Amino acid sequence: MRALLARDLRLAVRAGGGFGLGLAFFLIVTVLVPFGVGPQTALLTRIAPGVLWIGALLACLLSLDRILALDWEDGTLDLLATAPLPMEGIVSVKALAHWITTGLPLVLAAPLLGVLLNLAPGGFLWIIVSLAVGTPALSVIGTFGAALTIGLKRGGLLLSLLVLPLYVPTLIFGAEVARRGADGLGVGAPLMLLAGISLGAVALLPFASAAVLRINLR
Domain boundaries, the chain: 2-216
Nearest to 130 by CA among 183, 171, 184, 185: 171
Residue 19: is its pLDDT beyond 70? Answer: no
Output the CA angle 130-199-50, nearest 5 degrees.
25
pLDDT value, residue 77: 74
Strand residue runs (E) in the chain? none
Q: CA 40, CA 53: separation in Å to the nearest integer? A: 20
- What's phi and psi for 141, nearest 5 deg? -65, -40
Q: Is the pTM of this model over 0.85?
A: yes
CA nearest neighbour of 192 among 183, 180, 207, 210? 180
Q: Tally Cβ neighbours within 10 Å of residue 121.
A: 9
What are the tens digits of pLDDT across the range 73-120?
Answer: 777 776 777 777 788 888 998 899 889 988 899 999 999 999 888 898
Per residue in 47-58, pLDDT (tens digit) is 999 999 999 999
Model pLDDT for residues 142-187, shown as the tens digit of each residue: 999 988 888 776 667 788 888 999 999 999 999 999 999 988 888 9
